[in-house]
Structure 1
Amino acid sequence: MMILKRIAVIGTGYVGLVSGTCFAEVGNSVVCCDIDAEKIRGLSAGIMPIYENGLQELVDKNVNENRLFFSTDIPKAIKESDIIYIAVGTPMSENGEADLTYVKSVAESIGSHLNGYKIIVNKSTVPVGTGKLVQSIIEEASKGEYPFDVVSNPEFLREGTAIYDTMNMERAVIGATSEKAAAIIEELHKPFQTKIVKSNLESAEMIKYAANAFLATKISFINDMANICERVGADVSKVSEGVGLDSRIGKKFLQAGIGFGGSCFPKDTMALLQIAKSVGYPFKMIEAVIETNQKQRAHIVQKLLDVFGDLNGMTISVLGLAFKPNTNDMRSAPALDVIPMLRSLGANVQAYDPIAVPEAERLLGDQAVYSNDLFSTVKDTDACLILTDWPQVKHMDVKKLKSYLNQPVLIDGRNLFELDDMKREGLIYHSIGRPGVQGEKILTKV
């Protein structure tokens, strides 16, 4: 029978809040802590700081069943817990390295309030060597008075499906400073019935970066292939299908589009590049992955220029602001690059997103007029540009869309529609890595 644990999770972002809630769901007593008092007050009142499918219901359930708690009293949580998860942010610094300011601060606090044997688990994505750094900080702050172990237990959550990914995790990576700590964290994961991968601290830290960098590489590879397809008359969707059926390759992350965004891939590829540089290794492949991703944002704007020649004074509707569906996260979202590009070319922008409008207003200000109503966004615009594959966009009435547009131009950065359907509707339709559909004539500004 599993021995349930008292767990403290420090940091209530995507990783901390989801992980803590799921640990509570399988029976543990969990306190999620943060220095942000407003966030903790909101959580205590049942107000989620992030949008994540199923999170509200699971938090409410475990709070009501007295397994999940929220607090700003980090010292108390440290003292009363057996296992302490560090799940604070590691944002990208100006030189591309992961900023460990918050991790170091938490480690210092843990060391200062250690009152017995604890297992300290790094859940944050951190560079190789951070586990040893955390260990040294705690040792110094605690003056060696109490024993403890450090574990690296990286997360592999996808925003929008983070609850499902935790409750049905494909694997749990456990890098530990002792067999005892590894065994306890393995026991903690038994309810998830997952494959356990044990290693040292350094290997566990590297696994996270290697996984994200490889997936980012697949995305940039297929986007480069898409750009070649456009030049030779090939259809990248068929290329992806044919390549993805090879069991050695697989079909996931082979969908051409406008590149990757979010909190992980951009940050982690840059961090891995900096790790390589720090040990004198020229990681040319990752440099190319990052370069391709950056260029893909401009590529979608160029498609508009190819149609009109000049965007000055035109009004463009943008569908999708979040970096992916089912989240309000706009970190490294294509919209953050594309909308300023459109504005710099003299275009006016009307932007739609079902839930990310408040984030967009905060990050982009008055560079666009925002709405959570799709067709009011499109109405009387000169062209429509798809940036996020929301279900509302994927299943929209294209005939109705055309009737609302001043000119029948649809630029699809997510390859959502069949070419024959667009031809039938008379749209001028351009997507990524597929032949364009010329549709009806437009009034160009060339």
Structure 2
Amino acid sequence: MDPWLLITIILGFAMAWAIGANDAANSMSTAVGAKAITPRQAVVIAGLLEFTGAYFFGKSVTETIRKGILDPARITDPHVLIYGSASALLAATIWLIIATKFGLPVSTTHSIIGGIVGYGIVYAGLSIVNWGKMTQVVLSWILSPVVGAVMAYLVFKGLTKSIFEKENPVKSARLWSPFWIGLAFVVIGTMFYIKVLHGKDLKVGVAYYGVPVGVLVFLITYALIRLRFPISDPLIGVETIFRKVQVVTSGYVALAHGANDVANAIGPVAAVYAVATMGMTGMKVPVPRWILALGGLGIAVGVATYGYRVMETVGKKITELTNTRGFTIDFSAATVVLIASWLGMPISTTHTVVGAVIGIGLARGVKAINKAIVIDIIISWFVTVPVAALISAVIFKVLMLVG
């Protein structure tokens, strides 16, 4: 085996581990924060679903230069692609480990983009970077949390007014809980088609996946509420219903995350694999199944060994969460990401989830939010790309001098 291929495989696994520790933890953080499941249960569920998403639904073709950040025509030397991929992976991994240590939820996509920009600038200067794409990345820092917060605020207010603020919460819960839960699964079914199966037609996703799943879940929820809703204590009954559903919505986020973000770890590995085995440097590279499995395993191990830090920050430290609040966050984040994917808008899932958590806090008043934690998180978002770029630039320069 080519030694650089082996090195890149190891770095790809390390990056996947770091993704699991930081990004994948977001999927279960609200469920843990709302005490729907224990951290240990979250680790098992997230690990299994992240691996499943990565292995069975991960893209069979991965872009070698992530999302067109660099001009591929400018990279003609295979060694540049190999050294650059290794530098980007190592830089992103280092930054993710630092962020995770302090419990800061950052975007793994932005981390690997920063790594790619860093080595690109060292190699060919500023002109190699697609600054239009980079503007979209910066825009996502602002769009994602704001839209996530607004959506969560509105959904939570609607949920509160339709159930908890009514004179007869029991009657309102019987009517409205199935509606909200069914609506959430319309979004989840459609998201599965768009994000996991990589479908393109939103109408097909809604008609053949979203609506059938939503109606089925509506009917099941309606029957369960009729059979098991505790009349004596309706508020606890509502939270009990949403507790079970929240585990499912969080599980969906984990599955979709594994399917999509595994590319951040294995994309550079696939590029180096192609160069080492076939001498290819094209934009699109077939990804062998074993590389997908490597990424999925790394993510699962990362969740299991280090994911608790970010789970604690997102689930407990920003604002106090209940099951209905956690459900609202999952529903809002899934809806925003779905609409953004359809419109082609640059949205970060991590930033959207955190924004939704903040939105829930705002719905209860500004005092319900831990402002110090929020400020730390926002600062970490803005330094992700430049820090990863700087680390990658240094590593790439050293590799080019030594190599």
Q: Which TM-score bucket, shorter chain as reference?
A: under 0.3
Q: TM-score, normalised by structure 2?
A: 0.25
Q: TM-score, normalised by structure 1?
A: 0.23
Higher relative contact order (CA 8 A, sep 6+): 2
Which of the pair has more CA radius of gyration? 1
Q: Identify the structure with the greater helix proportion.
A: 2
Q: Identify the structure with the greater strand proportion.
A: 1
